[in-house]
Structure 1
Amino acid sequence: MHSDYDYVIVGGGSAGCVLAARLSQSPGVRVLLCEAGQDLPLDNIPPSILDSYPGTAYLNPNFMWAGLRARPTADRPAGKYDQARILGGGSSINGQFFNRGAPADYDEWERRGAAGWRWDTVLPYFRKTETDLDFDGDLHGKAGPIQVRRIFPEQWPGHAKAVAKAFESQGFKYLEDQNGAFTDGYFPIALSNKDEKRVSVATAYLTAEVRGRRNLTIATETTVTRLMFDGTTCTGVELHTRGQIESVRAREVILSAGAIHSPAIMLRSGIGPGDELAGMGVPVVKALRGVGKNLMEHPSIALASYIKRAHRISGPTRHHIRVGCRYSSGIGGGPSGDMLMLGVTKTSWHAVGERIGTLLTYINNPFSASGEVTLDSPDWRQFPSVSLGMLSDERDVERLTDGFVRMAALLASSALSAITEHPFLASYGEKVRQIGMLSKRNKVLTDVLAACLDGPAPLRKFLFEKVIRDAPPLGDLLQDPALLRGHIRKSSAGVWHVSCTCRMGAANDPGAVTDAEGRVHGVQQLRVVDASIFPVIPGANTNAPTIMVAEKIAAGMLGELVNAKIRKPALAMAANSAMAAHS
């Protein structure tokens, strides 16, 4: 590894891989991409990552940050918070959803001070990311690195078809294209997937040609311990790699470590709320009170049930979520399309998961923005402290409660009640998470339990009421609003879309951390480019918006490089002319 680079990119996730590929297009620029997790050689990608069914990837502890946890709340204990630790980041292990949110989401970004980020200015970069295999037109790209497709109704299993019929019974219309006109209705999920294989940034952007560039170095299993400074100018990074600490200098450092680790690195390095840093004994390089604040997530709630044998996942297409529905709650001033409901036909990789279907509702546009990332210690070997703060605004509790009631009505519809049994409020608690981890022991346990579930009806009823369900019966919840709200607070969960902890905004906004190009306010030669700079979380799975953000900022940086090359000859000519005139 060299000691000097033009750009050091910290984090090889959905933003970092895009930046590495785009910036290294300029052959005179030396780029270092640092990733804490393992590499994904193109000729040896694990089958669990390539699989259309993502559960064997996102439930594999080898691909995660071990030990990262969310702080306890008044309603629930501390719990593990999963974040990817692998080249490609979330795009290598996530559910493969590739959607954008509403045009109004990005107009809101600009209203909040992110100049140049309204819908009509970000749409070209969404199009640049993708090759849509199903649709053409002004809203779709046809030449980008990420292939996007949908699994249409003729390939849906019985459970997904029944969910669609239930949506129709509630008056929702069918939309062919989730990334088309943003209106209420149900649709096939848009996926970053081709030929039944995941398409991640690690494969789509870091191609063999890109990896072969002499000006690009990819350093995996390499952790950035801190940023280095000369005054308020970032001069490079300190790395921990293969058991050794080394320093690397850079003309510019770009943090793309995600909405938890990017602010944590800044805090350890002296950029953040001055009083908090001083109390931690960290010398203050630049006091910015917004670093680590304003954390947002999409809060969700699930209602599960047993799926009868003939209606489970089958056929060559393995993806577990085929159908979604966007709807407007009309609650608390939320925008149009502020809610999303999904039909999940398989809830985990194991045999029990194949027998449990879920309706999952999450808030596309939450009001709650009180989460934060802080430090318990400036030691880079200790994880930051994460508070999700998902239901701090009562309007979000009200919308999830309304969503739960809507899901109960869908399960009671003739379409779903005919193929499902034993509905129950589901939660992603510690017990569910533990049995969901990939292991031989869990496979044996779930194989036995699944056989019992498919056994005699009295045994199945006993297991659901005494073993699986950990909340009051559905009827009791629906009859007692206070009881339901309490269990929603206890059972709601994030969907791994943490965002907004280094948000973009104007220089005079005291809570803003970066400008519209990702440059950190008051700090030279340092940018943040990932989901942490979102001014507000969009109504979408965050992977596509994160890739779009990286594409847009990379284009601006490449433009700066071109302008610099143009200016240098012009300045030289001007100087020569001046010298000749003086002579």
Structure 2
Amino acid sequence: MQNLPDSVDVLIVGGGSAGCVLANRLSADPGRRVLLVEAGIDTPPGAVPEAIRDSYPMPLFHGDTYIWPGLDAAVTRGPDGQARRRPYEQGRVMGGSSSINVQSANRGLPRDYDAWAEAGCRGWAWDDVLPWFRRLETDLDCDGPLHGRAGPLPIRRLLEPVWPPFAHAAFRAFDASGLPRRLDQNGDFADGLFPPAFSNRDDARVSSAEAYLDVTVRARPNLAIAARTEVRALERAGRCVTGARLRLPDGTERVVAARRVVLCAGALQTPVLLLRAGIGPAEHLRACGIAVTADRPGVGANLRDHPALTIAQFLPPALRLEAHQRRASFLAMRYSSGLPGGSASDMYLTVSARAGWHALGARLGLHFLWVNQPHSVGSLRLDPTDPAGRPAIDLNLLSDPRDLARLADGVRRLVALAVSPHLNPDPAEIFPASFSPAIRRLSRVGRRNRLITAALARLLDGPRPFRRLMLRSFTGGRDFPRIVDDETALADYVRESVFGVWHASGTCRMGDRGDPGAVVDPAGSVIGIDGLTVADASVMPRLPSANTNIPTLMIAEKIADGLRAA
């Protein structure tokens, strides 16, 4: 960590996807002093852990080295109102969740951003944001007016000449959907089957930290980076934010003054900082014993995520990846449900040849299904009994029955396509993938788990009747193909198994300054507060039809440009 300055022009809170962009773009002006604060460890050039560089990311989700410890969320609620909770992994490391995610580089669709503009976010329609999508990327496969060729983030696809047998088999199986094969999900916006795009070069992850905080940027004398440093509170003078109180790695605290603070802590941490600063719903703040600085009811509201399910399938030996083949996802399917409450391209599916880092995972394909345009909305609140503690996060998935109906329909479609002679024709060898506590423990990288999973893998390769019994044990003894054919049983399964796909957004949504539910204006400035900007996924009015990392980078690029011009 560099020497911490006493005052700066811009203090950026959070070194995740957005924070790295802001640090790069704002410090490009040598006359602007910038401090980037990140709660997790730094990953400077030449010292990026191999686990982060790896194209296969799942081991990063276990332990608390790279994620916020103890963070969980209510996923759904039963008829009795009891919440079903599960861990909610969010990156706490330089690069944030771009250092631990699956590296999907998906923009979404033009209609997503046109809807933002129609909702009061002037300047955020598709034609407005396209220049920033182009600016952030170097697309290694696709060219033309929709793509960038000189941005910091490389985007690539695994194309047919280098496909392993699994990729050919998956595309042949899913050709039965009747959807055409397409090359470019970021430039061809119709439904279809695509090779997924990834933020990756030479089969290695490129996080926002690697893309935006290279050696040259880090050498700027006007940029300071403070890792393993937490923001404890925003400093204020009336309705003006004047800096932040930081807790340093040695446990001491310091106040750094700033002409402007930019929050890039993500959709679950940014609203917490606002609420603790007295910016949020007045009634909730008073219940927490916090003096009201600005009554903004939208802080912590509008929490959105894509409701998702995972389904595993036993793979014949000929379709399994070799250990050196790290990229495991080869097919993405964007389709329209055609159901009431649905819309064009309202569903999304990816197909992977590996369900875990170990020998057992190498024998299982993984199908990942989610609702691309969900209607359900959750919320985030402080705990009134402990406002300084962990927030109460309620994803409230499937609270809108249209999401449940589309996800259940998607399971039926998925099973019909995946149970195929091209992948595995045995319906008894496809089953729900559960992230139960036992599976999470088994997913920790270590010698003991390597030995256990190797033994289980050998058993799975044994006689078919024994394999069926073993797979059925993964489902709690339930016959999954029969569940799919039973409408009530399928709905129960979806409710019990749905989870958020780590795309939390919307908790400080953008909108017109006259909109009482808006938290920031179209420039990212917090309404009613001076000196404070938000520039992360929390400003999204609605989820894009995409993984959220690339849209978040676009948001950061656009807001950074506005701050540079101010």
Length-normalised TM-score, structure 1: 0.93
Query: What is the match of residue 506 of structure 1?
Result: 512
| 1:283-298 correspondence runs (5 A) | 283-298=291-306
Candidates 480, 505, 509, aligned match of 1:474: 480
Query: What is the match of residue 355 of structure 1?
Result: 363
1:311–1:419 contact (8 Å) kept in structure 2: no
Corresponding position: 1:367 with 2:369:
no
Query: What is the match of residue 272 of structure 1?
Result: 280
Match for 1:476: what amino acid?
A: R
Alpha-carbon shift at residue 420 of structure 1 (Å): 8.4
Q: How many residues were matched structurally?
A: 558
Candidates 303, 320, 340, aligned match of 1:312: 320
Query: What is the match of residue 40 of structure 1?
Result: 43
Alpha-carbon shift at residue 93 of structure 1 (Å): 1.0
**Rg larger in structure:** 1
Corresponding position: 1:160 with 2:167:
yes
CA distance in 1, matches of 2:323, 2:231: 44
| 1:237-256 correspondence runs (5 A) | 237-242=244-249, 243-256=251-264
47 and 270 in structure 1: CA distance in 2 versus 1, 3 angstrom threshold: same
Query: What is the match of residue 30 of structure 1?
Result: 33
Corresponding position: 1:486 with 2:486:
no
CA distance in 2, matches of 1:494, 1:157: 30
CA distance in 1, matches of 2:340, 2:227: 45
Q: Secondary structure at the match of 1:41?
A: coil
Alpha-carbon shift at residue 57 of structure 1 (Å): 2.6
Alpha-carbon shift at residue 542 of structure 1 (Å): 0.3
Query: What is the match of residue 537 of structure 2?
Result: 531
CA distance in 1, matches of 2:26, 2:290: 33
Alpha-carbon shift at residue 193 of structure 1 (Å): 0.6
162 and 74 in structure 1: CA distance in 2 versus 1, 3 angstrom threshold: same
Moved more, 510-519 or 324-333: 324-333
Alpha-carbon shift at residue 381 of structure 1 (Å): 5.5
Alpha-carbon shift at residue 168 of structure 1 (Å): 1.1
Query: What is the match of residue 567 of structure 1?
Result: none
Moved more, 512-521 or 383-392: 383-392
Candidates 540, 552, 559, aligned match of 1:553: 559
Match for 1:360: what amino acid?
A: F
Candidates 98, 117, 121, aligned match of 1:91: 98
Q: Deviations over 1:382-435 (max 9, x none)?
A: 211111112111000000011000011112333233488611122333332232
Query: What is the match of residue 62 of structure 1?
Result: 65
Match for 1:556: what amino acid?
A: G
2:121–2:522 contact (8 Å) kept in structure 1: yes
Corresponding position: 1:198 with 2:205:
yes
Q: Deviations over 1:245-265 (max 9, x none)?
A: 111111000110000000011
41 and 419 in structure 1: CA distance in 2 versus 1, 3 angstrom threshold: farther
Unmatched runs of 5 consecutive residues or more in structure 2: none
CA distance in 2, matches of 1:312, 1:519: 50
Candidates 322, 331, 335, aligned match of 1:323: 331
Q: Deviations over 1:187-240 (max 9, x none)?
A: 100011111111111111001011011100100000001111111000111111
475 and 72 in structure 1: CA distance in 2 versus 1, 3 angstrom threshold: closer
Query: What is the match of residue 566 of structure 1?
Result: none
Query: What is the match of residue 352 of structure 2?
Result: 344
Alpha-carbon shift at residue 115 of structure 1 (Å): 0.6
1:49–1:56 contact (8 Å) kept in structure 2: no
Corresponding position: 1:18 with 2:18:
no
CA distance in 2, matches of 1:419, 1:342: 20
36 and 380 in structure 1: CA distance in 2 versus 1, 3 angstrom threshold: farther
15 and 380 in structure 1: CA distance in 2 versus 1, 3 angstrom threshold: farther
Query: What is the match of residue 570 of structure 1?
Result: none
Q: Secondary structure at the match of 2:65?
A: helix
Query: What is the match of residue 225 of structure 1?
Result: 232
Candidates 125, 150, 157, aligned match of 1:118: 125
Corresponding position: 1:235 with 2:207:
no
Alpha-carbon shift at residue 170 of structure 1 (Å): 1.9
CA distance in 1, matches of 2:443, 2:288: 37
1:151–1:322 contact (8 Å) kept in structure 2: yes
Moved more, 437-446 or 137-146: 437-446
Alpha-carbon shift at residue 377 of structure 1 (Å): 5.0
Q: Secondary structure at the match of 1:77?
A: strand
1:159–1:312 contact (8 Å) kept in structure 2: yes
Corresponding position: 1:109 with 2:112:
no
CA distance in 2, matches of 1:66, 1:186: 37
CA distance in 2, matches of 1:446, 1:193: 29
Match for 1:332: what amino acid?
A: P
1:305–1:421 contact (8 Å) kept in structure 2: no
Query: What is the match of residue 549 of structure 2?
Result: 543
CA distance in 2, matches of 1:273, 1:443: 49
CA distance in 2, matches of 1:493, 1:50: 26
Match for 2:169: what amino acid?
A: A
Length-normalised TM-score, structure 2: 0.96
CA distance in 1, matches of 2:44, 2:384: 35
1:301–1:427 contact (8 Å) kept in structure 2: no
Match for 1:212: what amino acid?
A: A
Moved more, 157-166 or 350-359: 157-166
Match for 2:343: what amino acid?
A: P
Query: What is the match of residue 410 of structure 1?
Result: 417
1:344–1:358 contact (8 Å) kept in structure 2: yes
1:51–1:198 contact (8 Å) kept in structure 2: yes
Alpha-carbon shift at residue 315 of structure 1 (Å): 7.5
CA distance in 1, matches of 2:486, 2:536: 42
CA distance in 1, matches of 2:372, 2:315: 27
Match for 2:106: what amino acid?
A: N
Candidates 198, 218, 226, aligned match of 1:211: 218
CA distance in 1, matches of 2:12, 2:454: 44
Corresponding position: 1:453 with 2:473:
no
Percent identity of the aligned residues? 44
Runs of 4+ in 1 over 4 A off after TM superposition: 377-381, 418-421
Corresponding position: 1:398 with 2:405:
yes
Q: More helix by proportion, 1 or 2?
A: 1
Candidates 257, 265, 275, aligned match of 1:257: 265
Alpha-carbon shift at residue 58 of structure 1 (Å): 3.3
Q: Deviations over 1:346-388 (max 9, x none)?
A: 011122111111222111111112x111111586762111111
